[in-house]
Amino acid sequence: MCKRLFCLVVIVSFSLSLSGQVNSDQTKANIDPAAMAALDKMGTYLRTLTTFQVEAVQTTDDVMDNGQAVQSGQVVDLLAARPNRLRAQMKSDTKDVFFLYDGKNFTLYGHLVNLYATVPAPPTIAELIGKIDEKYGIDMPLVDLFLWGSPQSTASQAITSAIDIGPGSIERTTCEQYAFRQEGLDWQIWIQLGDYPLPRKLILTTKDDKAQPRFSEVLTWNLAPSFNDEAFTFDPPKDAERIAIAEIPASPNNEKKSEQGGVK
């Protein structure tokens, strides 16, 4: 009796370990190590940049209640001087919003409405990204550029498929195109070849919505921007009025509510 039970346990545990093995092998088979290495190289390189200016021409699909996706566009112009200064403008047909951070204060300025809000800020860009997201529900524009290659990046663990598609030009610069998959998201990236492995184009396809809405951006880089300290400090224009930023209520069921309001 005892022996049989032991046998059963052995068989079950063996088959369990076998199936686990198969799954991870399948995942491994879908992942081209060279594609992962290219991503790591890009992340490591991005972490070495202290000052940069980048313009991103973005399009985003929004899905209407009837399931139809419609596209909107915006241009982001971002100047960063790590670790503690950042300026970004997000401009679209309906908005012209500035983010200003000088290491002490964070200002959000709506140019079209001439309203601004200034709040005390943490000492680094990395901390600022977390704070404005958690406290105010505000996404830092081009947040990925600050996350690749950092401990906060979740992409490399999440990837279930990585393929090297081959060469592709973006704005007449030769890049290598890669396709990645992770849960609920297919994405492609074009990484510049040569000494400056910069991301030049991204396409994200959200898979857990039936309409599979897309976000895309093309990035133009300036690695030697000229600027002065005033670029990061907000000087309110005439007649600009100061307002507050709505905080996310810190109720325990906030997350639950958020989930309900999310993916349809």
Long-range contacts of 174-179, Cβ-Cβ distance < 8 Å, separation of 24 or more? 175/200, 175/201, 176/38, 178/35, 178/38, 178/39
Rounded Cα distance between 220 and 32, Å, is 27
Q: Does 134 bind other proteins (CB under 8 A)?
A: no
Closest Cα partner for 242 from 126, 156, 117, 141? Answer: 117
At 143, list the tokens: 């947040």
Q: Which of 94, 226, 228, 253 binds other proteins (CB under 8 A)?
A: 94
Q: Does 84 bind other proteins (CB under 8 A)?
A: no
Q: Does 245 bind other proteins (CB under 8 A)?
A: yes
Tell me the CA distances in angstroms from 211 to 58, 169, 189, 202, 216, one per residue in order.
19, 28, 21, 19, 15
Using CB under 8 A, which of the segments 11-19, 78-86, 129-137, 190-198 binds other proteins? 129-137
Q: Which of 143, 165, 223, 237 binds other proteins (CB under 8 A)?
A: 143
Q: Does 75 bind other proteins (CB under 8 A)?
A: no
Q: Does 154 bind other proteins (CB under 8 A)?
A: yes
Span 198-217, contacts to other proteins by CB under 8 A: 202, 204, 206, 208-209, 213-215
Q: Which of 32, 40, 55, 133 binds other proteins (CB under 8 A)?
A: 133
Span 21-40, contacts to other proteins by CB under 8 A: none
Using CB under 8 A, which of the segments 2-10, 45-53, 226-234, 248-256 binds other proteins? 248-256
Grouping H, G, I as helix, E, B as strand and the rest as coil, residue 212 is: coil
Q: Is the CB of residue 52 less than 8 Å from the CB of residue 80?
A: yes
Query: Least distance from C-beta 119 to other proteins, angstroms?
Result: 10
Tell me the CA distances in angstroms from 41 to 37, 46, 235, one per residue in order.
6, 9, 39
Query: Least distance from C-beta 159 to other proteins, angstroms?
Result: 9
Closer CB to other proteins, residue 77 or residue 133? Answer: 133
Amino acid, single-letter form, for residue 116:
Y
Cα dihedral 44, 46, 48, 50 in deg (nearest 10):
-160
Rounded Cα distance between 98 and 107, Å, is 8
Closer CB to other proteins, residue 59 or residue 233? Answer: 59
Closer CB to other proteins, residue 8 or residue 113? Answer: 113
Rounded Cα distance between 5 and 92, Å, is 68
At 236, list the tokens: 């309110």
Query: Least distance from C-beta 241 to other proteins, angstroms?
Result: 4
What does the binding site for other proteins look like in residue numbers (CB under 8 A)?
58, 60-66, 72, 90, 92-95, 97, 108, 110, 112-115, 117, 133, 136-139, 143-144, 147-148, 152-155, 180, 182, 184-185, 187, 189, 202, 204, 206, 208-209, 213-215, 241-249, 254, 257-264
